[in-house]
Structure 1
Amino acid sequence: MSDTENEKKLTSVEVSSADKDIEAVNSGTKSSDMDAGAKYLLDHPQHADYTEEEAKKVLRKIDWMLMPIMTIIITLAAADKILISNAAAYGMTAALKLHGSQYSWLGSIFYFGYLVAETPANFLLQKLPVAKVLIAASTLWNIVLMCMGAANTFPQMAALRFLLGIFETPLFPFCSIITAMFYKKSTEIGIRTSIWFSGFSSVITGTLSYAIGHADVKIENWRLLFIVFASITLFFTAIAFFILPDSPMTCWWLNEREKYIAIHRTIENRTGIKNTSFKKNQALEAVTDLRTWIMCVGVFCANISNGALVTFAAQIVSGLGFAPIITTALGIPTGLMMTLSSWIIAFSQFFFPGKYRTYFAVVVSLVPIICCSLMLTLEGRWSLYVAYLFFYFYWGVYTSFTSLSIANTAGSTKKTTVNAINFTSYCVANIVAPQLFLTKEAPTYLTGYHSILGFSSAATVCLALYGGLAVYTNKKRDNEFGPADENIDDELDKLDLTDGEKKKWFRYVW
């Protein structure tokens, strides 16, 4: 189907789905098809005269309340996943009598659980209060994590890893949803996504693993790792219960005027806040949108590196000739490299709001490609270790895809569908990746490195294609309709419509 035919189809969808609701808005009746944020603005017009200083104050309050706890929860969840690598360095493999590819399957099976639960979790987040879903899931996943310290066989650990994947599933979609609700896509979403999606997990796991490695207790160190991490994460889950909101409209630490400002200041996103109705036309648009599938392939390719390094980080470093206790300490800087890579891309938005994000991401994506080549050719453990550290620049690529998806997808059902597709792709990549690191090839892992080299290169191509398509689409819409700001339809914009249905005034960040 051509672009012109697609746009004609979307226009008909826009008119048929919106006419009834425009009439409802004009008559003062609340429409079930309206975006929840738009309803709140209509119900509280007395707060419309706020100042820029008030908006900045509300943004600061949102940042201080959301960013720390979201960053902590995401970081601890990531730490939970990579903890298995340090546990293996501390004797888990021998204690569970793992052999052959069983350790690789412990890495993969987590994502089978993730894959099974991904679509149901995304639709639960659309239908139910998002923070409540997250807190319930977080409590369960930490109970499971604690139980991992009591596992004695491969089947027991595999079953627990599978359950861990199921219960952790709502976390990333929740953070994506909250970020889209509270922040502007032009300058704020990319930066905030990079903050809560930072790679500090290895800093935490490395530091605590190093400390636990020196603990003189009766329980085995690898078992203590799981128990300590689960206890810490449960503590922060309790804090999150009191802080994380379901939406700006129900946020207890914002007063009525601040809620209005929080919603209205992000109206430029044109992506809406929330609508609990499932809309088939939005799901259809999601699966027929070329951007969705470029993103899907890009997320898959970028996460081959993630799946491999999450599972085999300790083995790679110890394979260079370092002792287990030193290996855990040497894993700490990897988190700093992950964070640096995503922040380089995100902070470009201070200078080029809404533009050139994919350009910076392409440049950053070249770093792990070069380092992967060096890992195959260099000699000397310290040279290889430095190359290995820069390998972690792969994270900036995945973070970029995540922030672009948040910023460029409008319509509640379309957002839910795109989220489900992206995280399914993420799961499949993380299932496949550990199988590419063959135990018999340790410590060189030639098959693994060659695979990462190819998939990382493909992720770079996807970034370039996504950015190019966004630029092309924006120019096409400008040529056909004129500048976006001149075409905003306030009544249609109140409705829960997609970026395709709002094409006259919706432009993509790139």
Structure 2
Amino acid sequence: MDSDEKDVKTSSQNDEDIKTCEVSPLVDTKRMFRKVDIVVLMIMLVTYALQFTDKLALSSAAVFGLRTELKLVGQDYSWTSSVFYFGYMLGNFLVAKLIHVFPIGKFIFFTVCAWGITLACTAACTNYAGLITARFFLGLLESAVSPTFVFMTTMWYTQEQRAFRGSVWFAGNDVGGVFSALVCFGLGHAGGALLPWKYIFITFGCLTFLWSFVILFFLPDTPQRATFLTADEKQFYREEMKASDVEKEWDWDQAKSCVFDLNLWLILLSTAMSILPNSGVISYGYIILDSFGFTSIQSTLINLALSVLTFFCITISGYFASRLPNARCYMVLVCVAISIVGGCLIYKGNSKGVKLLGYFLVDAQPAITPLLLGMAASNFQGNTRRSVVNSSIFVVYCACNIAGPQLFQSTDAPHYPHAFLAWIICYCLNAVFAVAMRFRWIQCNKKLEKLSQIPETDGKEVIEFLDPTFRYKY
């Protein structure tokens, strides 16, 4: 390791200590961020958990009678999963602009409330056309959450804190997975006038609708409007954390510079290789386990255990990414390596137990996405640039979630060998992109070190959108 990289690492280790020790003595920043965690981070985590219960609702409903009652044949089920992300993609084009226009807290409340109603009404679908329409509008409404939460992470937390906090709210996926598995297990045994799959949509839709009012009353639009912060703490955000300000004007120069930035394209390629396999796990998880020879109820309990495992993978990788200087790409490589082993076991395994072990191992790869989101939040400056990055990531997210279920062709049922081979290829390519990102950002930091030695008037245009103290986190 060369001396430049050592200097960057030493600097990053001390950054958070500086922020908590040398700022105004009137502000206890540890206490302040603890309050932000309790209110803002917990709201984001629960909201993200509810969003994931919706995605799992379709998968679990598929094995509790939905496909039979609505007469889904061929690729019909795959398209009901994919069409959600057409709506999600359309919404992402709008969200990048809307979060600069509307108060963020109120914007999230409206979308969560509307998607809860839409989800509950999905139980009224009687055919394929109705289901696919409901899924499209559900995706359109849910598109507001993920890019807005990435934006909020940069608003409320320092550059050093974002990787772990981003992993925490993203781990809401697996909190939702545990909750969904328990609820679906109970509803799977439900009797009554309706089939179990209808109870699943009604239950999760009503819970989401009620939660939206918690968001309305407790999620502040900005740190300056947070009732739980003192006047001195708000002043700290105003003076020490410029990213907490939401710019109302769209800066086309920032947008243009971002589109032509190689760093953005590396993030997008890595995101694509992460989401393609994960979309199959989400949409076909219960069906994959069914192909291994497990019953519907057994699949539900296995998914509960998988959600717990993935939660720990996400939080532990996020913790080490935040605590160890510039370890984010290393953590991506660790998750990819585990997933490659798991993918090979599923692809070549002959027994149910071996395939199940492989399925557990590939569930380490969802931890890659929050690591990438953390790097995106830390490595792009300016509200417009961050909006472009966040929306671009989630457009790729949508495209891959549309394509992912299509890897599971009905002609390959019930074992889907081509889908699992595609997973292994994606994991290997992601390892290549992780190495490329790390190398790229090490070189960029060396250039920034040299630029910092240039007088401000000479270097102003070169680092137009960067804080002079800014360094890439990798």
TM-score, normalised via structure 2 length: 0.90
Corresponding residue to 1:246 among 196, 207, 221: 221
- The answer to whether the aligner puts 1:180 opposite 2:154 as a matched pair is yes
Instruction: Note if 1:293 corresponds to 2:268.
Output: no
Residues 1:431 and 2:402 are matched in the alignment: yes
For the pair 1:377 / 2:348, whether they are aligned, the reply is yes
Query: What secondary structure is seen at the aligned counterpart in 1 of 2:113?
Result: helix
Residue identity matched to 1:294: L
Deviation of the 1:245 alpha carbon = 1.4
Tell me, yes or no, if the aligned pair for 2:92 and 2:144 is still in contact at 8 Å: yes
Give unmatched runs, 5+ long, in structure 2: 1-21
- Contact 2:345–2:354 (CA<8 Å) still a contact in 1? no
One-letter amino acid of the counterpart of residue 61, structure 1 = K
SS at 1:379's partner residue?
A: coil
Amino acid at match of 2:306: T
Counterpart in the other structure of 1:419: 390
Write the distance in 2 (CA, Å) between the matches of 1:305 and 1:352.
28
Cα deviation, 1:25-84, whole Å, max 9, x if unaligned, reads xxxxxxxxxxxxxxxxxxxxxxx9732861111111111111222111001101101211
List aligned pairs for 1:130-209, cutoff 5 A: 130-186=104-160, 188-198=161-171, 199-209=174-184
Q: Distance in 1 between matches of 2:463 and 2:305?
A: 40
Whether 2:68 is the aligned partner of 1:104: answer no
* Structure 1 letter corresponding to 2:88: Y
Tell me the residue number matched to 2:208. Answer: 233
Aligned residue for 2:318?
Answer: 346
User: Could you report, residue by residue, the CA deviation over 1:70-102 in whole angstroms, capped at 9, with x for unpaired residues?
Assistant: 111001101101211100110100000000100
Q: Where does structure 1 lack aligned partners over 5 or more consecutive residues?
A: 1-47
Alignment partner of 1:358 is 2:329: yes
**C-alpha displacement of 1:378:** 1.4
Distance 1:88 1:450 in 2: 24
Q: What secondary structure is seen at the aligned counterpart in 1 of 2:124?
A: coil
Question: Does structure 2 retain, via aligned residues, the 8 Å contact 1:410–1:499?
Answer: no
How far apart in 1 are the matches of 2:435 and 2:216?
Answer: 40
Q: Which residue of 1 aligns with 2:279?
A: 307
Partner of 1:31: none
Higher mean Cα deviation, 219-228 or 317-326?
317-326
Q: Distance in 2 between matches of 1:426 and 1:212?
A: 30
Q: Cα offset for 1:129? A: 1.1
2:381 to 406, 410, 432: 410
Provide the C-alpha distance between the structure 1 equivalents of 2:144 and 2:424, rounded to a whole number of angstroms.
30
Q: Tell me the equivalent position of 1:13.
A: none
Q: Give the deviation of 1:482 after TM superposition.
A: 4.1
Q: Quickly say closer, same or farther: Cα 1:178–1:193, change in 2 above 3 A.
A: same
Instruction: Please say if 1:320 is aligned against 2:292.
Output: yes
Is the contact made by 1:135 and 1:241 (CA closer than 8 Å) also made in structure 2?
yes
What is the Cα deviation at residue 183 of structure 1? 0.8
| CA RMSD between the two structures | 2.1
Residue of 91, 101, 105 corresponding to 1:127: 101
Given the superposition, is the C-alpha separation of residues 94 and 189 from structure 1 closer, same or farther in structure 2, using an over 3 Å criterion?
same
Aligned-pair distance for 1:175?
1.0
Paired AA for residue 397 in structure 2: Y
- Report Cα offsets for 1:338-357 as digits up to 9, x if no partner: 2222223211145424x121
1:443 Cα deviation (Å)? 2.3
Tell me by how many angstroms 1:504 deviates: 3.6
Label 1:128 to 1:246 Cα distance change in 2 as closer, same or farther (>3 A): same
In 2, Cα distance between the equivalents of 1:479 and 1:122? 33
State how far apart, in whole Å, the 2-side matches of 1:177 and 1:49 are: 24
Distance in 2 between the 1:499 and 1:448 partners? 44
Q: Give the paired residue count.
A: 449
Between stretches 277-286 and 462-471, larger displacement belongs to 462-471
CA contact (8 A) 1:59 1:262 kept: no
Indicate the percent of aligned positions where both proteins have the same amino acid: 24
Q: Report the 3-state secondary structure (helix = DSSP H, G, I; strand = E; otherwise coil) of the residue aligned with 1:219.
A: coil
Deviations 1:294-346 (A, max 9, x none): 11111111100121111100000111111111111111122223222222321
Q: 1:216: Cα distance to partner?
A: 2.2
* Displacement after TM superposition at 1:479 (Å): 2.7
Query: Within the alignment, does 1:457 sit opposite 2:431 as a pair?
Result: no
Letter in 1 for 2:176: S
Range 301-310 or range 497-506, more displaced: 497-506
- Are the aligned partners of 1:488 and 1:504 in contact in 2 as well (CA < 8 Å)? no
| In structure 2, C-alpha distance between the alignment counterparts of 1:499 and 1:60, rounded to whole Å | 33
Match of 2:7 in 1: none
1:506 is aligned to 2:474: no
Q: Counterpart of 2:79 in structure 1: which amino acid?
A: W
Match of 2:52 in 1: 78
Q: Within 2, Cα distance between the matches of 1:223 and 1:180? A: 39
Question: 2:151·2:390 contact (CA, 8 Å) conserved in 1?
Answer: no
Is 2:68 the counterpart of 1:94? yes
Q: Distance in 1 between matches of 2:278 and 2:462?
A: 31
* Residues 1:216 and 2:162 are matched in the alignment: no
Segment of structure 1 superposing worse, 108-117 or 327-336: 327-336
Tell me the alpha carbon deviations over residues 93-121 of structure 1, each in whole angstroms, 9 at most, x when there is no partner. Answer: 00000001000001100000011111111
Aligned position for 1:470? 441
Q: What one-letter code is carried by the residue in structure 1 that aligns with 2:262?
A: L
CA contact (8 A) 2:310 2:366 kept: yes
Over 3 Å counting, the alpha-carbon distance change for 1:251 and 1:488 in structure 2 is: farther
Distance 1:373 1:282, change over 3 A: same
Q: CA contact under 8 A between 1:408 and 1:499: conserved in structure 2?
A: no
User: Shift of the alpha carbon at 1:503?
Assistant: 6.0
8 Å CA contact 1:108, 1:431 repeated in 2: yes
Structure 1 segment 390-405 matched on structure 2, within 5 A? 390-405=361-376
* Amino acid in the other structure paired with 2:200: L
Moved over 4 A (4+): 497-500
User: Could you tell me which amino acid in structure 1 is paired with residue 33 of structure 2?
Assistant: L
